[in-house]
Structure 1
Amino acid sequence: MTPALPLAALGLVDAAFSGFRAYAGRDARIRKHRANTRAALRGLAVGAVLLLAPALTAALHLLTAAAPDHAYAALTAGGLGYLLPLTAYAAAVLLSLTAYFVLPFRAGTLATVIGLGPLTLLRPLAIAAACLAALLHHGGWASLLIGAVAGAAMLSVEPIVHHRWYRQAHAPVER
């Protein structure tokens, strides 16, 4: 089993959430479904482009490897190692989102504050744990490199979307 498809799916879902986070809190309207959807789609588009970087890194590694079969096996092992911490992280996010949608309003809001707030801050640590797991799961240094490129790409989505579409121009400060 190749972990590329589940990893790509997780990356694309994360990119959509990153687009939403780049927009969240910028609009006081009550009904903003269209704007939320547009923000998520912007994150998805940016994430899809950025995910080409680890895909190209992996392809380049496989094309230049002395033993492509061995390199593919190592990347597969590393990808499975990378997938384990991210799956645990995604499950925690899904649990918090489920609580938000299933529980009554106040309890759902509390679940979001307690769950999604800290989980958003822990995203870089989850990616670092995934990179370490890729290396320790017999993926080798190439898996670590590809994981680091993928992690950097995913952590870049939200700032890019924010800068491109949601940055507010600040008036010059008079002294």
Structure 2
Amino acid sequence: MTPALPLAVLGLVDAAFSGFRAYAGRDARIRKHRANLRAALRGLAVGAVLLLVPALASVLLLLTAADPARAYATLAAGGLGYLLPLTGYAAAVLLSLAAYFLLPFRASTLAMVVGLGPLTLLRPPAVAVACLAALLNGGLPSLLVGALAAAAALSVEPVVHRRWYR
């Protein structure tokens, strides 16, 4: 199984959330669904462009490899290693979001403070663990692609913030 599609989906969803986070707290209006959606779409667009970098690096590694089948297997193993820690992190975020949306007001506020707040701060360490797992599973080529993907994912929010919400 190639982990490219789940990693791409995870990266794009993360980019949309990063766009939302770049906008969050900037507007005091009560009804801001349209602005939230626009911010998420901006994050998605920026993330899609930035995530082309690790995709192109993977393609270049495969095109320049002496043994493309072995290089593909190495990148797939590294991608799977990269995916596993991020899947656990994403599950924790989804659980916190479900609690936020499904619980009564006080409990949902607690879910945001106890879950989503700390998870936002744990995002860079989770990505670093994913890079380490890519290195352990696939070696240096996988680390290269993983580090480029990490840089892309962690750059979405600052780029969106600087471009639209300074």
2:114 aligns to what? 114
AA partner of residue 120 (structure 1): T
**Matches of 1:15 and 1:162, distance apart in 2:** 12
2:127 aligns to what? 127
1:161 aligns to what? 160
AA partner of residue 166 (structure 1): Y
1:77 aligns to what? 77
Larger radius of gyration: 1
Q: 1:81-100 maps to which residues of 2 (within 5 A)?
A: 81-100=81-100
**Matches of 2:81 and 2:144, distance apart in 1:** 13
**Matches of 2:87 and 2:63, distance apart in 1:** 29
**Matches of 1:37 and 1:113, distance apart in 2:** 22
Instruction: Note the alpha carbon deviations across 1:57-90, whole angstroms, 9 max, x for none.
Output: 0001001111110000000000000000000000
Q: 1:22-61 maps to which residues of 2 (within 5 A)?
A: 22-61=22-61
TM-superposed deviation, 1:111: 0.5
Q: TM-score, normalised by structure 1?
A: 0.94
Instruction: Note the alpha carbon deviations across 1:107-150, whole angstroms, 9 max, x for none.
Output: 1011011111111111110010001111112x110000100000
1:2 aligns to what? 2
Classify the secondary structure of the residue corresponding to 2:157.
Answer: helix
The structure 1 segments of at least 4 consecutive aligned residues displaced by more than 2 Å after TM superposition are none
TM-superposed deviation, 1:56: 0.5
Q: Are residue 141 (structure 1) and residue 107 (structure 2) matched?
A: no
Identity, % of aligned positions? 82
Flag structure 1 segments of 5+ consecutive residues without an equivalent: 168-175
2:151 aligns to what? 152
TM-superposed deviation, 1:156: 0.2
AA partner of residue 41 (structure 2): L
2:66 aligns to what? 66
**Matches of 1:30 and 1:47, distance apart in 2:** 27
TM-superposed deviation, 1:25: 0.3
Classify the secondary structure of the residue corresponding to 2:30.
Answer: coil
2:105 aligns to what? 105
TM-superposed deviation, 1:43: 0.1
**Matches of 1:156 and 1:83, distance apart in 2:** 19
Flag structure 2 segments of 5+ consecutive residues without an equivalent: none
| Matched length | 166
